[in-house]
Amino acid sequence: RIIKEKANLFIKETPKRHRPPSWTEACLDVTVRWLLRQCGRIETESRRKCIELVCTFIPLLPSMK
């Protein structure tokens, strides 16, 4: 809910935001790409949640408006 309401804050990376080691930057675009890769996981519940999050976050990307 927070990301949906404050999506503009997550478009660009900020120095204060934690970045996971495998990510190039901590922004919404990279998050969606990471979630898409996780959609292929074997664990059903994990895969289902990733698909749900991708469907929620994609409309928030500026290139998708």
The pLDDT tens digits of the residues spanning 35-46 come to: 999 998 899 999
Kindly report the pTM of this predicted structure. 0.75
Residues 4 and 37: their CA atoms lie apart, in Å, by: 21
| DSSP 3-state of 40 | coil
Q: What is the predicted pLDDT for the residue at 25? A: 82
Distances (CA, A) of 28 to 7, 11, 24, 65: 8, 5, 12, 14
Of residues 27 and 6, more confidence is placed in: 27
Proportion of the chain above pLDDT 70, given as a percent:
94
The answer to whether the CB of 53 falls within 8 A of the CB of 61 is no
